[in-house]
Amino acid sequence: MLDTLNRPATAPATPGEPLAGPPAALNAANHWVPHNIVMRDTWFPLAHATSVGNKPVRRAVYSHSYFLWREHGKAVASEFHPGETPGIASALTGGTGRFPVIEHYGYVWGWFGNPAAADPIHLPSLPFLPPNTSLPSHMIGTVRFDCSAPISLENLIDLTHADFLHANIVGDEQSESENVEVFFDTETITMVRTCTGKSVAPVMKFFSGIRQPTQNIRQVIRIYLRSHAAIAYGRFSPGDDVPLFHPCVPETRDRTRLDYAMNTSHAGFMFRHIMPKASYLVSRQDSSMTSPQSPRYMRDTKRRDLHSRFDTAGQRYRLLMQDLVARQAIGDFAYRDNVSADCSDIIGLRKELFRF
Ligand SMILES: [Fe+2]
Expressed in angstroms and rounded, the spacing between residue 154 Cα and the centre of ligand 1 is 10
**pLDDT, position 21:** 43
Expressed in angstroms and rounded, the spacing between residue 96 Cα and the centre of ligand 1 is 40
Is residue 235 within 8 A of residue 218, CB to CB? The reply is: yes
Expressed in angstroms and rounded, the spacing between residue 159 Cα and the centre of ligand 1 is 7
Distance CA 240, CA 237 (A): 7
Distance CA 175, CA 196 (A): 6
Considering only the C-alpha atoms of the chain, give the largest distance between any 2 of them, rounded to a whole number of Å.
Answer: 64
Distance CA 220, CA 166 (A): 16
CA 168 vs CA 205, 302, 354: distances in Å: 11, 36, 28
Cα within 13 Å of Cα(144), Cβ side: 9
Q: What is the tens place of the pLDDT at every residue in 14-60? A: 333 333 444 566 677 777 889 989 999 999 999 999 999 999 999 99
The residue type found at 68 is: L
Distance CA 200, CA 210 (A): 8
Expressed in angstroms and rounded, the spacing between residue 312 Cα and the centre of ligand 1 is 17
Expressed in angstroms and rounded, the spacing between residue 217 Cα and the centre of ligand 1 is 16
* Beta bridge partners of residue 260, listed in sequence order: 141
Distance CA 328, CA 321 (A): 11
Distance CA 146, CA 296 (A): 12
Distance CA 296, CA 304 (A): 12
Strand, helix or coil for residue 120 = helix
How do the pLDDT tens digits run along the chain, 356 residues long? 332 333 333 333 333 333 344 456 667 777 788 998 999 999 999 999 999 999 999 999 999 999 999 999 999 999 999 999 999 999 999 999 999 999 999 999 999 999 999 999 999 999 999 999 999 999 999 999 999 999 999 999 988 888 889 888 888 889 999 999 999 999 999 999 999 999 998 888 888 888 888 999 999 999 999 999 999 999 999 988 999 999 999 999 999 999 999 999 999 898 899 999 988 999 999 999 999 999 988 887 777 777 776 788 999 999 999 999 999 999 999 999 999 999 999 999 999 999 98
Closest Cα to residue 311, out of 151, 147, 152, 159? 159
